[in-house]
Amino acid sequence: MKKTKRAFFRIERDFLGELSIPRGAYYGIQTQRAFQNFPISGLKARPQLIMALAMVKRAATEANMALGSLDKKRALAIIKASEEVINGGHLKEFIVDAYNSGAGTSLNMNANEVIANRAIEMLGGARGDYSIVHPNDHVNMSQSSNDVIPTAIRIAAIISSAALLRELKALSLALGGKSAEFRDIVKSGRTHFQDAAPITLGAEFSSYRASIDSAIGTVKNSLSRLMQIGLGATAVGTGINTHPKYKVAALKALREITGIRCLKKARNACKYLSSADDFLLFSASLRGASVELIRIANDLRLLSSGPNTGLREITLPPVQPGSSIMPGKVNPVIPEMLVMVCCQVIGNDQAVLVASQAGSLELNVMTPVICQNILTSVALLSNAAGVFNKRCVAGIKADRQRCRQYFEDSSGVATALNRFIGYGAASDVAKEATGSGRSVKEIVIEKKIMSEREWDGLVSSGAFLGPYRIKTGTKRGTAKKRRG
């Protein structure tokens, strides 16, 4: 029995004692302890974070080698092993639960051990022979979990956000396309869920595009705060156990490895470790984008409601049957999905908020939960925005006849009469229209306030819409020109 066990396991030791490690594993004893200690969620660190961690390890190693702190032989093996992880290798070796030890020490050691054992193997040694390459002394040289994990989170968030920004930009363009397509469709506006002054369907969609553009700007602004890197702060911000030139060398290497040229040294290393305000700001930008996406998705659900008993001013592309019991029913499942995703992102932001206030003295130990939530939010929003664009927005069609009918039947069109007959008289017209069930147009013509020709002229000229184009902000022309 002992021989069989030895065939499949190796023994590793730390100051707490011994543990059996699967012989073929690249991870080691500290990873194994964390695996046993944290059977929490079944979720592992997101791949983007693991790859970012490997980037940090490579940058640190390059800096240590350049400064003469680490010999070239070991350094090159560590760099090569790190590069394998950066390229997506060995992800199954990262077995620590996403909710692990404070400050992410367990995940940092998981990376140290995987990279160390792979480097050992490259140098001809057996996994677990840390006399060749040591996880702490060599892979983790000049580092602490306290500065490595925040750096990796920043890198992972910046890289992951590229996909989110692409999807949001594509969504903005699609909404802009619909705005142009619907620019001449006049419809009833609605405020307080009641009839209001007329507007175009294109103007409504232009507001959706503007909201997405604003969200993109907010996300970009928050990302600029994540560009501040405190690698080299080590345990408490003082840079203990590092070469005096290490911080500059490591940052330079990290810029080269990540391709993110805008990375810069954190203004205050101590604040970098204890405050999570940059993460909170970034998470808040995702929350803000989610709020706007919910509003847009819910508007589309409302505008497409029906088909016979709702507004039905637009139709959404049917993507699947909507009911297990009602034949022929089609639901707005894509907008519904988007709302659910955004609700989750808003919940994730709340977790980030609570975790961010947990910074105490020289460290915020809640970085694992902060990381898990912001990277999950980025991935969810990226995927959901892409699906929403391709499987919903791109296929939206307008019901021109329905929009025109609502416009003509709306009491809100009486607003345009203010400058012709005054607010009081216009109110009487609106009240009569609402009470009688007749249109404002019918009453205006009946009372000889204007002729049918004059009314149609106002409609065709766009006079009911006001002097400004909502989409461009340019004037349509004076009222006199429109009338005549």
CB-based contacts of 59, cutoff 8 Å, min separation 6:
231, 250, 251, 253, 254, 257
Strand partners, 18: 13
Catalytic residue from among 323, 360, 436, 460: 323
Residue 18: its H or E element: strand 17-22
* Residue from 396, 408, 401 nearest 198 by CA: 408
How far apart CA 133 and CA 127 sit, in angstroms, is 10
Check residue 99 and report its DSSP letter.
S
Which amino acid, residue 117?
N
* Residue from 348, 367, 193, 182 nearest 274 by CA: 367
333-356 and 367-391 helices, crossing angle to 10°: 160
Residue 380: its H or E element: helix 367-391
How far apart CA 117 and CA 126 sit, in angstroms, is 8
Which amino acid, residue 259?
G
Phi and psi (nearest 5°) for 328? 80, 0
Clarify whether 283 is annotated catalytic: no
Residues with catalytic function: 323
